Structure 1
Amino acid sequence: MQRFEGRTFWHGGDPLSLSHVSASDCGFNQCNVRSVSRGWNVYSDIRLENVSHWNCEATGCVFDDISVQNLKKTGSAPLFLNASVFRHVTLAGNISGLKINRSELATLVSEEDRRWRDAEVKAFYSSADWALDISRAKFPNGTTFEALPGDKIVRDRKTQALIRRDALKTMDWKALDYRGTAIDIAIGWFEHGSLFDSVVVVPRSSSKYREADAAVIDMLRREGVAEMD
C-alpha cells in the first residue's frame, strides 16, 4: 500500500482510478474527477484519516473497501460525489461538507446515459451486502443519503433513522412539525428523486442543531414515518 502523510493533492478533472493508498493529515484541493462514458472510475482499498477537502468533486465512481476517519471541509462548497456507488465504505468521526447526488448535471450527460447509469446503480446494489457504515460518524452540518438504499446503510439506530417509501404513502408527513430543521426537505428529496425504497436520515451533530434534529427524528418514529428500531 502506498502511504502519504502531510501532503496536498490536486487533480484537474480527467477520469481517474486508484487503489491500495492511505493518506493521513493530507489536503485535497480542487480535485475534480470526470465520469467515464458508460463506465466507472474505481477507488478501492483506500484509507483516509484526518483529511480535508476544498472545492472537490468526483463523478461516476465505484467506492469499494474505503475507510474515512475525520473529513473536514475547508472551502465554502461541499465535496460532491455524483452518480457514484458505495460498497464496504466506512465513515467515522466528524464528516463535514459531504453531498452525495444520484446523478451528474443534466447539462453534462444525455438522458440515455442517465438511464444507463441508473440501471447500473440498481444492479450494483442488488448484489452488495452493505454499502455504507455511518454508525460511528457525526455530521456537524448534516448530509443526505437519498442516493443510496437505506437498508444497505449500517447506522447508529439510536440517532440515525430509517424511512421506507411505503410509510410516506400512509400519511400526510409534510404536515408534521419539522421545527425548521430541513429534515422534511431531505425526505422530499428521497420521495421524489431516489431510486430506492428506503432512506436513512441523520441529525446534525453541531450544538446549534443537534437537539432540534434529534427531537424531529424522535417525532418521526412516534408518528410512524421512521422505523422504531
Structure 2
Amino acid sequence: MTQTYVKEKFEYRKIIESAATFTDLAFEQCAFVGGVIMQEHDDPTYPLALSNISLHKCKVGNVVLYGLRCDNVVVDTLSHGKPIEFEACVFDRVTFRGSLGAVRFSPAIDEEPRKSFAPGAAKLYEEIDWALDITEAEFSDIEIWDVPGHLVKRDPETQFLVRRATAAAADIDALPPYARVLVERAAEAPYDTSVLAAPIRSKSFEEALDALRTLRDLGIAE
C-alpha cells in the first residue's frame, strides 16, 4: 500500500546505506530542504533502490543522489533552485514530466567507481524495456550522458538520438560551437546511443534546437 504525504516539509536528511529499498511512497506538494541518498560502497548490483515513488508539484533543495537504482518512479513538476544530478544511477521505467529545472544524468566522477558500476548498469539495461520517459518534460537544462539513448522515450521534435560511432566520425570543425560540444560529448558517452535534448525552459532553447536540427540535417542526430 502506498503511503501518501501532502503539503509536508522534510528537513535535511543524509542516507548512506549499503543496501535498502525505499518503496511505495507518494508526495504531493511537499517541500524537501535537501539531503543525500547514496550507496556506501560502489556495488554494481545496485542494492540501494527507490521503487514505486511519485512526486507531484514538490520543491527540493540541494540534493545528492549517487549509486541508486530507480524503478517505477514519476516526477511531475518539480521546483529546485540547484541542478539535480543523478550520478552513477540506473533507471527502469522512470518518468519526468511537467516543469523542471536543470537535471543531469552522469557517470561517476572518479574512474574507479565508474569501472565498478559499469558492468551492473549495462546488465540492467539489457533486461528492461525502457529507462526514462521525458516526452512531456520541460527542463531549464538537461544532460543525459549515462543512460542508453535507445531506452529513452522522447519527443522527436526537441529530443534527438545520436549514435556514438556517428558522433565520433563527424567533422567536428565544420559544426557550429554549440553543436560541436554536444557531438564531442556524445562521442565519449559510455553507451552506443545518447539523447540530446533542447531544454524548453532555457533562454538558449532556440539556439539549442537549431543546433540539434543541424545535426539531424547532417545525419549525425536522428
Q: 2:105 aligned with 1:100, yes or no?
A: yes
**Within-5 A mapping of 1:31-180:** 31-37=35-41, 38=43, 39-74=46-81, 77-103=82-108, 105-106=109-110, 111=112, 113-140=113-140, 142-178=141-177
Provide the alpha-carbon RMSD of the alignment: 1.8
Out of 22-31 and 165-174, give the one that drifted further. Answer: 165-174
Query: Per the alignment, do residues 171 and 24 of structure 1 end up closer, same or farther by CA in structure 2, a change over 3 Å counting?
Result: same
- Amino-acid identity (%): 24
Residue pair 1:86, 1:132 contacting (<8 A) in 2 also = yes
Secondary structure of the residue aligned to 1:17 is strand
- List 4+ stretches of structure 1 deviating above 4 A: none
Secondary structure of the residue aligned to 2:70 is strand
Which 5+ residue runs of structure 2 have no aligned equivalent? none
TM-superposed deviation, 1:173: 3.1
Return the alpha-carbon distance in structure 1 between the equivalents of residues 125 and 202 of structure 2.
34
Which 5+ residue runs of structure 1 have no aligned equivalent? none
1:59-100 per-position Cα deviation (integer Å, ceiling 9, x unaligned): 1111100111111113xx311211110010111011212122
Counting matched residue pairs gives 215
- With normalisation by structure 1, the TM-score equals 0.87
Q: 2:28 aligns with which of 24, 29, 41?
A: 24
Residue pair 1:46, 1:66 contacting (<8 A) in 2 also = yes
TM-superposed deviation, 1:185: 2.8
- With normalisation by structure 2, the TM-score equals 0.89
Return the alpha-carbon distance in structure 2 between the equivalents of residues 139 and 86 of structure 1.
18
